[in-house]
Amino acid sequence: MIERVAILGTGLLGTSVGLALRAAGYRGELTGWNRGAAGAQAALAMKAVDTLVSDPLEAARGSQVTVLAVPIYATLDLMEKLAGVLGPEQLLTDVGSTKRVIAETGMRLYNQPERAAFLPGHPMAGKERGGAELGDANLFRGAVWLFTDDPQAQRTAGAAELVKSWREWVTAMGSKTIDLGPARHDELVAWVSHLPQFVATALSALLEDEVGDAPELRDVGGRALREMTRLGASPFSMWRDIAHTNTEAVEAALLALEQRLAYLRENLRTPVLREEFEQANRFRREG
Amino acid sequence: MIERVAILGTGLLGTSVGLALRAAGYRGELTGWNRGAAGAQAALAMKAVDTLVSDPLEAARGSQVTVLAVPIYATLDLMEKLAGVLGPEQLLTDVGSTKRVIAETGMRLYNQPERAAFLPGHPMAGKERGGAELGDANLFRGAVWLFTDDPQAQRTAGAAELVKSWREWVTAMGSKTIDLGPARHDELVAWVSHLPQFVATALSALLEDEVGDAPELRDVGGRALREMTRLGASPFSMWRDIAHTNTEAVEAALLALEQRLAYLRENLRTPVLREEFEQANRFRREG
């Protein structure tokens, strides 16, 4: 049913979407656009897209489904620009890491009579470094792909079919879909995604101050330290937008962890330490 | 040169030492003792040891090198008991995660004329779960094995040879050895080993409170969350002794991280966030 897909932004996620669609059997067109020419050419060379265009609006205009795979503020910017370009038989979707602002914008500019459909999406997959070169057809395999669709959305029968079909392709790419509201989404990912990232950033920055000048001592930490700081390599360019569009939930999660660490610190020699380890063990009981 | 080794404690580390010695070509005797019979039998079944004895003192008495692979307080207890059993041509070494208290005890009870030699050691390797069944001949491959030997140690020529030979076996097991003082050791591992563990414990315990009742939401975090909480499965039984014998250094590291998290939280929307990400990126520049 879907035969023409545009991918706007051929970084890690956009390139992986193209590769995963092909691996899942998608035979239609794949048009790509990227702000930087190198990333676009890399995606083309990897066959994540068939053709490149220099204008994102042109790419979207000719497609049934347009996937926005750029940072959040760039997503919002393209949503504004595409509102005047896309029609009621077209679907726009995204992969942004926060959903409240994007879903609000989607209901304001899309999902109304005579307008295109917008489906807010968020695949919980990524790597600590970005770029088309790291694109991976299996990136979404076994991952959760969240949707925060709005029951008030108004769509033509054709657009509703595109939404249904896109969700089937997401499943075909190997992801498990979960639906929830955008506010609940942002609160949840603050805990399970944003908090782990900011902790890894703070831990890595602190350790760079403490032992960064002695590489042989960094090696001492072994696998445990490597894992706990791997996300320290994550780029600011992506996380700035997340910090700006989910500030309150991230603040609350960070404050809660600061308090938990203080509680643990004050109880290193009391029976509370056992309770904290046992509570942590419970979180990993199925891991 | 070393032909008779006793391993006291056939948990993950002790069993791995036996397996790694064999894999590295050690052909001598391997005698094992473990507090629990199941762990002892498992190590025997895995051929990590050739024979089991029910008395740790008996195992050590007949060996040239005795490896203590038990939690820290159990290590200190066995050091007391073995001081009256071992002679000046025998070597006792350990794998404990803190070294100040153990090294002090070693100089008080060993490393003097007419007494056995004691070499404080600490392989930076492990898993988040313990037990002989997880023993692994490759556990120490690529890891750092720290020694905090004391230049004031007095040893017979025979014991000095055993120390040299044991260090060669450690290298043969695939580890890189680093020598440092016990106080510096404890400060360093507070940053690169203990802090990451306690952070993972606090994060896991907090998330168990927040999303533990909704397993499908735990899955949302994906690989990043799994990595950041893997150490949450670590057993209290091991970490209690570390918290008790390195309290001040761990307190200082935890307090520093609490402050760093607060600094990041207060700057989610300021240019400081970029600086923190860039400092974190530097820590991972070679990772």
Q: How far apart are CA B89 and CA A228, in angstroms?
A: 43
How many angstroms away from the CA of B136 is the closest CA of chain A? 15
Element at B14 (helix H, strand E) = helix B12-23
Task: Give chain A's mean pLDDT.
Answer: 96
Q: What is the gyration radius of the CA atoms in chain B, in angstroms?
A: 21
- Choose the closest CB to B232 out of A193, A239, A283: A283
pTM given for the model: 0.91
- Residue B130 has a pLDDT of 85
pLDDT at B219: 80
Most confident range (mean pLDDT) of A91-100, A206-215, B213-222 is A91-100
Distance from CA of A150 to the nearest CA of B (A): 20
Contact B192 A225 (CB under 8 A): yes
Residues of A with CB below 8 A from B283's CB? 204-205, 207-208, 212, 218, 229, 232
A-chain residues within 8 Å CB-CB of B204? 279-281, 283-284
For A9, what's the count of Cα atoms within 13 Å in the CB-facing half-sphere? Answer: 23
Q: ∠ CA(B257), CA(B262), CA(B263), 5° rounding?
A: 95
pLDDT at res. A223: 86
Residues of B within 8 A of A197 (CB-CB) are 224
B172-195 per-position pLDDT tens digit: 999 999 999 999 999 999 999 999
Cα(B38)–Cα(B32) distance, integer angstroms: 12
Cβ pair B219:A176 closer than 8 A: yes
Q: So what's the ipTM on this one?
A: 0.91
What letter does residue B6 receive in the DSSP assignment?
Answer: E
B277 and A235 within 8 Å at the Cβ level: the answer is yes
Reduced to 3 states, what is the DSSP secondary structure of residue B52?
strand
Cβ-defined contact of B203 to A215 (cutoff 8 Å): no
Nearest CA-CA distance, residue B116 and chain A, Å: 29
Distances (CA, A) of A208 to A235, B144, B192, B282: 16, 19, 11, 7
Sign of the four-CA dihedral B107, A214, A129, A101: positive
Of A146, A228, A247, the CB nearest to B199: A228
Nearest Cα residue to A120 out of A144, A136, A101: A101
**Which among A228, A235, A268 is the nearest to B228, CB-wise?**
A228
Answer yes or no: is pLDDT of A16 > 60.
yes
Residue B83 has pLDDT above 80, yes or no: yes
Contact A280 B193 (CB under 8 A): no
pLDDT digits (tens, 9 = 90+) for B141-175: 999 999 999 999 999 999 999 999 999 999 999 99
Contact between A220 and B189 using a beta-carbon 8 Å cutoff = yes
Residues of chain A with Cβ-Cβ distance to B188 below 8 Å are 211, 217, 220
pLDDT the model gives residue B286: 63
* pLDDT of the residue at B287: 44
Q: Interhelix angle for B236-245 vs A272-283, to 10°? A: 140
Chain centre to alpha carbon of residue B72:
9
The pLDDT of residue B29 is 98
- Does the distance separating the beta carbons of A231 and B279 come in below 8 Å? no
A286: pLDDT confidence band, cut at 50, 70 and 90?
Answer: low
Spatial separation of the C-alpha atoms in residues B222 and B234, rounded to whole Å: 20
Question: How is residue A153 written in tokens?
Answer: 């959305």
Which residue of B176, B247, B258 is in closest CB contact with A258? B258
Residue to mutate among B237, B283, B285, with most A CBs inside 10 A, is B283
Cβ pair A192:B277 closer than 8 A: no
Q: Is the pLDDT of residue B77 over 70?
A: yes
Nearest CB among B146, B223, B264 relative to A202 is that of: B264
Q: Of all residues in chain A, what percent carry a pLDDT higher than 90? A: 91
Q: Which residues of B touch A176 (CB under 8 A)?
A: 219
* Residue pairs spanning A and B at CB distance below 8 A: 296
Q: Confirm if A100 and A183 have CB atoms less than 8 A apart.
A: yes
How far off is chain B from A170, nearest CA to CA, in Å? Answer: 15
Q: Which residues of B touch A205 (CB under 8 A)?
A: 260, 276-277, 279-280, 283
CA torsion angle B231 B126 B197 B33 (round to 10):
100
A122-126, A203-207, A216-220: least confidently modelled range: A216-220
Give the mean pLDDT of B201-218: 89
Alpha-carbon distance of A103 to A59, in angstroms, equals: 22
Average pLDDT of chain B is: 96
For the stretch B54-60, contacts whose Cβ atoms lie closer than 8 Å and that sit 24 or more positions apart, written own/partner, are B56/B6, B56/B8, B56/B81, B56/B82, B57/B81, B57/B82, B57/B85, B59/B6, B59/B8, B59/B31, B59/B32, B59/B33, B60/B6, B60/B8, B60/B85, B60/B86, B60/B90, B60/B92
Residue of A225, A235, A287 lying closest to B226 (CB–CB): A287
Asked if the Cβ–Cβ distance from B276 to A201 is below 8 Å, we say yes
What average pLDDT does this structure show over A86-92? 98
pLDDT at position B215 is: 74
Nearest chain B CA: its distance from A135 CA (Å): 16
The pLDDT > 70 percentage for chain B reads 99
Task: Provide the pLDDT for residue A287.
Answer: 44
Q: Please report which helix (H) or strand (E) contains residue B176, including its range.
A: strand B176-179
